[in-house]
Amino acid sequence: MFPLAAPQVHEALSHPLAVFLLQLITIIVAAQLCGWAMRRIGQPAVMGEILAGILLGPSFVGALFPAFNAFVFPPASLHHLQMLSQVGLVLFMFVIGMELDLSIIRKKARSAMLISNISIVVPYALGVLLSFVLYERYCPPGIPFHAFALFIGIALSITAFPVLARIIRERGLAQTRMGSIAIISAAWGDIAGWCILAVVIAIVKASSVSSSVVTLGLAAAYVLVMLLVVRPFLKKLSTEKTNDRQVKRSTIALIFVVLLASAYGAEVAGIHALFGAFMAGVIMPLEWNFRHLIISKIEDVALVMLLPIFFIFTGLRTQIGLLSNPSLWAVCLLITLVAIAGKLGGSALAARIAGESAHDSLAIGALMNTRGLMELIILNIGLDLGILSQEIFAMMVIMALVTTFMTSPLLSLLERVYGKAKE
């Protein structure tokens, strides 16, 4: 009886739904365990979730236990994971947009603007220069130099606003001048970075100069509709009184319709759905007194289940084993050093010019050098568009991990050094 049941059991275990549920269990458990381990050593939990993806990918578990990876993450199932991870990113970018308080940015923009702009311009310029070294050997065939250079520039100039904000809160810096400037600079940098990325994507997707002009025109029309039509409409609705604890289902439905329609419009316009989700969050009325409820409800699903799926999917695409000789690791080190010099150095220099102390300038530079999740999102877009090869993708992922991991230790080192100097 049991031998007859064996094929049936095997068929049940390999059923797409069974495989998908096992993947979700594995992803959530691995993300929580690695997140807990990172918190124990003073790192944000998101670092553990990113590392969980790398560990479950072909670079570690896939290399040591290939049968396990083939069973839990068969290639045929990865498309479903990718789609669900994109849903998680859409929700996450919407929350990031909602958490940005544009009124605060405007109030403290003068000092933060200089830091934010230089922290984008300097690493972007260094990224373009670096692309001259990388293009011939590492760029996929058929990608023009300008597309590759523009993308490398934006990949080196992004800051992970969510991770930065979490580090600032955990270290009790939210009420300090340094923490406020870093938050505002990163927030404005996120807006500018995603706008630049949208333009870059439009140029890359366009097959000719005329089509790129059309794409940019559609993108501009999309932004104008969101700002001049959708935003006033939502602001008018916000005049209705809403109970903090009883948000109408129709209101929730409207918010999700605006979110999905904005993401759809951005995708159709030729930029990216994630920019649309971010834009939808930015235009949500500040007058709505239930914003924090919406954010917390979405975060519960996005952060616990959907975002770890994105990390695992990124890890499954990251093949560190491709860096198989010292010259490739030397290029990876070069990318990392250029990224640190551009972002940390540029931000610190701008903060010093703005009149901040040496300690605060270096601390702001260290915080702005945090890349984390936002970098991984951009790298996956580059890989999907065919701009990045698998080797460059792996190098960039390592750079994102290094620059994010070094933030907390560097802040602690600065506190000790300048604390002793003051004593």
The closest of 277, 229, 208 to 216, measured between CA atoms, is 208
Partnered with residue 246 across adjacent β-strands are 243
Placement of tokens 């969050």 in the chain: 281
Angle between helices 161-170 and 177-205 (to 10 degrees): 170
The closest of 59, 89, 60, 62 to 74, measured between CA atoms, is 62
Tokens of 375: 């970098």
- What is d(CA 358, CA 363) in angstroms, rounded to the nearest whole number? 9
Range list of H helices, 302-357: 307-317, 326-340, 346-353
**HSE-CB of 22 using CA atoms within 13 angstroms:** 16
- What is d(CA 65, CA 48) in angstroms, rounded to the nearest whole number? 21
What's the pTM? 0.77
Tokens of 106: 């405007």
pLDDT lower than 70: segments of the chain: 1-10, 100-111, 162, 169-170, 174-175, 206-212, 239-247, 287-290, 419-423
Note the pLDDT tens digit of each residue in 177-228: 777 778 777 777 777 777 777 777 777 776 555 666 777 788 788 888 888 8
- pLDDT of res. 131: 92
The answer to whether residues 294 and 97 touch, using CB atoms and an 8 Å cutoff, is: no
Give me the phi and psi of 286, to 5 degrees please. -70, -20
The answer to whether residues 123 and 214 touch, using CB atoms and an 8 Å cutoff, is: no
- What is d(CA 218, CA 202) in angstroms, rounded to the nearest whole number? 10
Tokens of 34: 């690695």
- pLDDT of res. 239: 66
Placement of tokens 């979730």 in the chain: 49
- What is d(CA 355, CA 110) in angstroms, rounded to the nearest whole number? 12
- pLDDT of res. 129: 94
- What is d(CA 13, CA 161) in angstroms, rounded to the nearest whole number? 40
C-alpha distance from residue 274 to each of 88, 261, 267, 278, 319 (Å): 10, 12, 8, 6, 25
- pLDDT of res. 6: 60
- What is d(CA 220, CA 223) in angstroms, rounded to the nearest whole number? 5
- What is d(CA 102, CA 99) in angstroms, rounded to the nearest whole number? 9
Coil vs helix vs strand at 174: coil
Q: How many CB atoms lie within 10 A of CB 264?
A: 12
- What is d(CA 326, CA 313) in angstroms, rounded to the nearest whole number? 27
- pLDDT of res. 353: 86
- What is d(CA 420, CA 417) in angstroms, rounded to the nearest whole number? 5
Tell me, rounded to whole angstroms, the distance of Cα 49 from its chain centroid.
13
- Output the 3-class SS for 217-259: HHHHHHHHHHHHHHHHHHHHHCCCCCECCECCHHHHHHHHHHH
Query: What's domain 88-302+325-422's architecture?
Result: Up-down Bundle (1.20)
Tokens of 20: 């998908």
- What is d(CA 156, CA 192) in angstroms, rounded to the nearest whole number? 14
Note the pLDDT tens digit of each residue in 276-315: 888 888 888 876 666 777 777 777 777 777 888 888 888 8
